[in-house]
Structure 1
Amino acid sequence: MRRVISQLANRLWIVLAALGFMLDVEQARADDKRFRLSAPAALVETGLLDYLLPRFSLKTGVRIEVVGPVDPAEMTIGPEAGRAVFKGEGGLWRISRDGDHPGAARFADWLTSEIGQRTVTSYEVAGRAVFTLAEVAEEAEVTLDFDGNASEGKRVSLVQCGRCHVVAPENRMNAMGSTPSFAVLRTMPDWAARFQSFYVLRPHAAFTQVEDVTAPFPINRPSPIVPVEVTLDEVEAILAYVAEMAPADLGAPIQVQ
C-alpha cells in the first residue's frame, strides 16, 4: 500500500510540475503580448495615444498599458533622449526602450514604419493635423518621390476613386461634380499628406478599407456604398501617379483653411 501511495504521489508531483511549466510558458507568452508605455500627461491629453494604440493592437494583438513618467515601463515616449518619431504640441517626441521586451520592440518598429508614421500624421483635432513627422522639409517647394507604379496608380484610381473624382480625362463625364478632381487636389500644398491618409479623412473613413490597416466596419455601421478596398501598395501607386500629374490651373493658389 505504501508503495502504491508513493507511486501515486510521484505521478501527482510530475503532473503538477508539468502544469506549472505550462503555466509559466503561457504567462511568458502573455507577457510578450503586453507591455507598459510611460508617457507624460501633456502627450496623453492630446488624445494621440488613444488614437494610435488601438490601431497597433488591432493589427498585432499586443496590448499597451499607458503609465506615468515615474512608473516602471518597458518603453518611454517623451522629449528626452531617444529616437525621434514625431513632433507637435510644442516639442519633438522620442521613444526609448528599457530592455528587450518583444512587444515594445514591435511597437517601436511599427511607430517608425511608414504605416505608423502615416497613422501619427493622420490624427486630427477639430479638422487640424496635430503632429508631423520628426523631420519635415521647411522649403516651400519640395520634390516628392514615391516608389509606387504610376501606371498602376492610375488604374486603381480610376476603378476605386473614379466613382466620385475626376481622375483623368477617361472618366471626366462619370464623376460627381461636387467632388474635387485629382488635378485640383494636386494644387494643394499638403496634397501628399491628404492622399497618404485619405482613408481616415471624411467622408472616406465611412466606406474605405485598407488591407492590414483599417478595422472592419462596425456591424451596426456598414459602408453606405460599395466599399473602396485598397492595399498600401496601391496607395503608394496612387501617390506616384498623382505626383506626376500637372496641377490644375486655377489662376491662384488654393488657400487651405
Structure 2
Amino acid sequence: MRILVLILAVLPGLAMADDKRVVFYAPPALVESGLIKHIAPRFSLKTQVRVEIADDPAVADLVLGSDGRALFSGLGQTWHMDLRSDGKGAQRFADWLTSDVGRRTVQSFAPDGEALFTEPQMQERIVAKVEMTGDAIAGQGVSWAKCGRCHVTERGKDSFGIGSTPSFFVMRTFEDWQSRFAGFYALKPHAAFTQLEGVTDPFPIDRPSPIAPIELTLDDLEAILAYVAVLDPADLGKPLEHQ
C-alpha cells in the first residue's frame, strides 16, 4: 500500500515534468554552429518549457537529422524533425519549430552577418519521359493477331478474347502498365507459349508449348508498346487493385 501511495504521489510530478521539459538531440554539426543555443532559450522564454540537450538520440523526445518532417536547409543538407514522444513538452517544441515564429527564429540565425539556414530545399522529382519508338498503327494489327485470342485489344471487338483476362484498356490503367507489356513474354502464363526472337530460349523438348506458340520480334514488341501508349485507359471509377 505504501508503494502504491508513493507511486500515486510521484506520478503528478512526472506528468508536470513531461509538460515542462523536452529532451532534444541535434547532431554535432548543428550544435557547433550555435543554432541550438540560439533557438532553445527563445523557445523556453516563450513557453516555459525547458530544453535539455541529449548526447544520444536514443533517449531523446525529438531528434533533428535526416528522418521525419523537413524543417530547414543549411550546412550542406536539409534537416528533418523526428518526434519520438507524445509528451506535451515535446509536442510544444515540435509545434514551435514548424510554426512561423520558429521558422523565422531559425532563419534569423546569422552569427557572421549571413543567415546559415533557409526554408527546406526539397529535391525536385524528375520524371523521365519515355519515348515510344514503335509504330502504333502496326502495333494495333500485331496486338490483334498475337494477343486477340485472349485479350480484347480494340474497341468494338468486345466479343473476342477470354472473359477472365483483362482487356488492353483495363491493363492500361495499371501504374506499371509499361513494364508489364514490355516484359509480358516472361510473365505467367505467357512464358509457357511465347517466343521473342533473339531474347527467349527455345522451348525444352520435354516441355513444349501447350498451345500454338506466339512468336514475336523486338519490332513487334515495340509496336505493341506504342499502340498501348495511345489507348485511352478504361474508366473503372476507382483505382484497380491488382496482384
Q: TM-score, length-normalised on structure 1?
A: 0.44
Rg: which structure is higher? 2
Q: TM-score, length-normalised on structure 2?
A: 0.47
